[in-house]
Chain A
């Protein structure tokens, strides 16, 4: 039988130690992705270290005016937390655009960062995949790649990161507080996920055995002028073809600060700081947005079935920036409604 052992960690130190002592082990939070991967035989951990009961579920204000999101808080509890809705409505919208209510009730914030790509080939053991089996080849290149990346790809991998929440996080730029065998450290969100390069099997920059403790959001929440726009093949329960998190600070008509991140386009949530700088000091007009959008996709590269994403991304950026400037999007108590 596909046997594995299971340990429910009682403290952070216990979890880290348990993981270190068991080669081939994995942390499990809500399990919404890991269990799928185990059923498909994509991942075969021999030992599971459950971190679900660790005291990491709190959402609390930080002295610097920021907000700490516990790694074990569920996506649902995070989206609907009053502080998130008031101060970081972009995050509320991005979380509610993803998955389904049932999944959001189980999925944890730490797990959301750790979820793996939805590349068809990664999931199907009948086909080669460098991410699943380094050196076996990338089937998506030259294959069916409608959902694949257009930015930051490599010859080894064109997979995308599937999260919605992480696109908003890329724009909001929290630090990811982690604990590992060598103690605690903080990773800027932008550096947490990585591009595939020659090691597509590595999704992120965590050291072996490190556990996510929290996401520490800075005080700036862009709560007035923001937009999360998700485009997909159906209105709910589908991964983004393109998603855009746009956040602006406006002084009248002039953009004083800006954040812009994309989902569905790269191996990591794609924040474009050059584009953000282009927005700063400019009037919030259609011309500005069009110029910036063109800049973001300037180096984008299609793979065949996903060529359309370049143009779609350009248009989505323009729309999201326009919506952010208008300040019409609000936090939701239900879900991100894409109805007409």
Chain B
């Protein structure tokens, strides 16, 4: 039994003590000498022009350093491509303070910089700005007939596959049919930590931007292109993030404003957004989905049709994969998928946890429930009859798919066999209606190019660097586990650092690909370091490893030893001492093995079982039990992985029952833009949540066999709850969230 095997175990977060003691530093907490403070002024109108900014009235206040606006922004990069970041959709990215045009409500129109925060804030409150409003349109309902099919534009977006079979005829002639529209409103990410940037302006004109971002390299590229900085002069750092959920994938406007001010004033500047301003940028788009399903007499799907329309801004075509899943999740030969956008006077939507899939799984999985009822089948049995053995969109087999195990293990643990099919047929001891529902989905198992550096010092301590991100997911912990296990070191001897453009490049922290991408890079790099260490070990006098190849040895418990004979070993620290080197360093990287992966469709899957209790008279719903059965390849850390899925379920409950950003179309403005009125669950809303990770081996996705779990846990949760509400009450609510009024 070795003690340095950590992968698949449940060590606690290595960054936990730093977080709970306050030692972890967030973007707005870097205190640098001579710091100045910026306050963003936001537009009260949704469309029109700025006609006059009375900057002179606040510039006279002692301590106000500058009012930045379109009137005094220096000449910056001209072409759109300079403003495009790694995940920018097609179109022209928003340029803060570019001209006098107002494109959306709460658009930043000025940045006031002052010697202290209170002064900047006060100046903003008295700054007079005159506007000429123009008619705006913010209501997706009015754009139903004006949808258009977007181009590819954005990384990761796949247009729906062409229709297959004869989906119209198959639907018309089928034994059982359903058709319905499903709707959810706009949602904002609302991580606890506000967006903020602290720019340290160095004496030599270099800057360090401590920025809230899920990708320091993405922000560095954005800044260097716009402000004409060299990479050496623009370091971007994010060591910790108080939640991201996708909101930090694109550079937000505060980093632009803070850097602009720092370069112009030659001072260090901090800009922190307010909670209200957290509703002024990307969001999960308001989406309308139309589904038509039909079954054959044997309960197999005869036709699947899924069409989605969602909002985007006037200036960019934000895309996400909403409908494609419906051509892949279940076996069906007659499929038609459609996807359209409509332009509104709002900011561009932005990837938000399981973008597209979280939305699509609401439509498809509620429709599947409706179809099961129409066909007289148990919803789980209906899914088993339509189990997809291959990905029909791609016409490829799955690299692995243990979804059936999710069904069976989940059903057994949840007690699904005790469910009675009839709506309103189950009640608890107090007479409340009880409902059980299911829903699930799939998410891509992706791997991106990633690099790392590993350094071991004479005292046996290992430092591994890769500019990835930690927004609460457990990146620090799993990378430490991988590095420690690869080189046979105790966890305490390993430090993993991330979030700094001085480190080797890692991809954006998103897409559920961090474990696969950075994890493989860390593994490869540590193995390369291991090879060096083996060579040094072989130079030692009387080394028992003299004739061993790298494949013949293993690194365990601080030793390098022969796999075939554990007694033939050398102590790693002795190797380092004997080498006479103060440190040994290697750079490494990992790329997806395209040749190996190409023939396969690679996905994680899940199935969620939910129980609700409904007080029918008062319309209140409580989600009393949720079980999420997940097949996501190898689980690196049982504890952090479980936490991720618990968080996903909580957010799914939120999506189902309470979360919605409400627009007043008269003003084209989100009105519940604060934590008091934008509702997410509190502890009292959360009851039993259970997670099953089914065993799933997959040596195709990557050498670690991991698929990532950032998004998959979110899928089907809202649908399972909506289906459970139907089972409890007989009422089919098709527009989320299911608030009290919809059940009266």
Residues of A in contact with B (beta carbons under 8 Å apart): 1-2, 41, 118, 120-121, 123-127, 139, 142-144, 146-147, 231, 233-239, 241, 308, 311-312, 315-316, 318-319, 337-340
Contacts and interface: CB of A to CB of B under 8 A. Distances in A.
Given A126-B44, A340-B624, A235 B671 contact: no
Contacts of A127: 44, 664, 667, 669, 671
B99 interface: no
Interface stretch (B141-149, B283-291, B306-314, B674-682): B674-682
Contact of B119 (A1, A120, A144, A237): A1
29 contacts: A2-B121, A41-B125, A120-B671, A121-B671, A126-B669, A142-B666, A143-B664, A144-B664, A144-B671, A144-B672, A146-B662, A231-B618, A231-B620, A233-B739, A234-B657, A234-B681, A234-B682, A235-B685, A236-B685, A237-B676, A237-B682, A308-B741, A312-B619, A312-B744, A315-B618, A318-B617, A337-B684, A339-B684, A340-B687
Contact of B617 (A125, A234, A315): A315
Nearest to B105: A126
A120 B670 CA distance: 10
B676 A118 contact: yes
A233 B660 CA distance: 11
A338 B122 CA distance: 41
Contacts of B122: 1-2
A238 B741 CA distance: 16
Q: Is the interface of B mostly helix, strand, loop or mixed?
A: loop
Residue picked from A235, A315, A319, A338, most chain B C-beta under 10 Å: A235
Contacts of B622: 235, 339-340
B740 A120 contact: no
A236 B658 CA distance: 13
B400 to A, nearest CB: 38
Contacts of B695: none
Nearest to B123: A1
Nearest to B622: A340
B47 interface: no
A139 B432 CA distance: 39
Q: Which 7 A-B pairs have the closest CB atoms?
A: A126-B44, A308-B741, A235-B684, A120-B671, A340-B622, A2-B122, A236-B684
A337 B663 CA distance: 32
B118 interface: yes
Nearest to B621: A340
A315 B741 CA distance: 12
A235 B682 contact: yes
Interface string B137-165: 00000000000000000000000000000
Interface in B639-671: 657-658, 662-664, 666-667, 669, 671
Given A120-B677, A125-B44, A236-B682, A139 B740 contact: no
Residue picked from B671, B683, B684, most chain A C-beta under 10 Å: B671
B658 A1 contact: no
Given A142-B666, A233-B740, A316-B618, A118 B677 contact: yes
Interface string B593-625: 000000000000000000001000111101010
Contacts of A338: 620, 684
B574 to A, nearest CB: 56
Contacts of A312: 618-619, 740-741, 744
A338 B681 CA distance: 13
Contacts of A146: 662
Contacts of A143: 664, 666-667, 671
Contacts of B617: 315, 318-319
Given A1-B119, A120-B672, A139-B666, A234 B685 contact: yes
A264 B432 CA distance: 25
A133 B671 CA distance: 18
Contacts of A311: 744
Contacts of A2: 118, 121-122, 125
Given A234-B684, A235-B622, A339-B622, 19 more contacts: A1-B122, A2-B121, A2-B125, A118-B677, A120-B672, A120-B677, A124-B673, A127-B667, A127-B669, A139-B666, A139-B667, A144-B672, A146-B662, A235-B681, A235-B685, A239-B676, A312-B740, A318-B617, A339-B684
Nearest to B662: A144
Contacts of B740: 231, 233, 241, 308, 312
A41 B683 CA distance: 31
Contact of A234 (B105, B664, B679, B687): B679
Contacts of A318: 617
A125 to B, nearest CB: 7
Nearest to B683: A236
A236 B684 CA distance: 7
Contacts of B428: 340
Contacts of A120: 664, 671-672, 677
Contacts of B45: 126
B685 A340 contact: no
A339 B685 CA distance: 8
Contacts of A315: 617-618, 744
Contact of A139 (B118, B657, B664): B664
Nearest to A335: B684
A39 to B, nearest CB: 9
Contacts of B679: 233-234, 238
B543 to A, nearest CB: 63
Contacts of B739: 233
Nearest to B106: A126
A41 B121 CA distance: 10
Residue picked from B622, B669, B683, most chain A C-beta under 10 Å: B669
A207 B634 CA distance: 70
B46 to A, nearest CB: 10
Contacts of B620: 231, 338
Nearest to B741: A308
Nearest to A229: B618
Contacts of A118: 676-677
Given A126-B105, A233-B740, A316-B618, A340 B671 contact: no
A340 B618 CA distance: 13
B303 to A, nearest CB: 37
A44 to B, nearest CB: 9
Residue picked from A233, A311, A312, A315, most chain B C-beta under 10 Å: A233
B684 A1 contact: no
Nearest to A310: B744
Contacts of A337: 684
Contacts of B121: 2
Nearest to A337: B684
Contact of B432 (A123, A236, A340): A340
Nearest to A238: B679
Nearest to B685: A235
Interface string B672-713: 111011011111110100000000000000000000000000
Contacts of A234: 657-658, 679-682, 684-685
A312 B44 CA distance: 34
B618 A319 contact: yes
Contact of A340 (B613, B619, B681, B744): B613
Nearest to A126: B44
A233 B664 contact: no
Contacts of A123: 674
A109 B125 CA distance: 31
A308 B105 contact: no
Interface string B428-439: 101010000000
A339 B623 CA distance: 10
A337 B687 CA distance: 13
Interface in B296-344: none
A135 B671 CA distance: 21
Nearest to B428: A340
A2 B687 CA distance: 45
A123 B670 CA distance: 13
A139 B666 CA distance: 9
A319 B619 CA distance: 12
B398 to A, nearest CB: 39
A41 B127 CA distance: 13
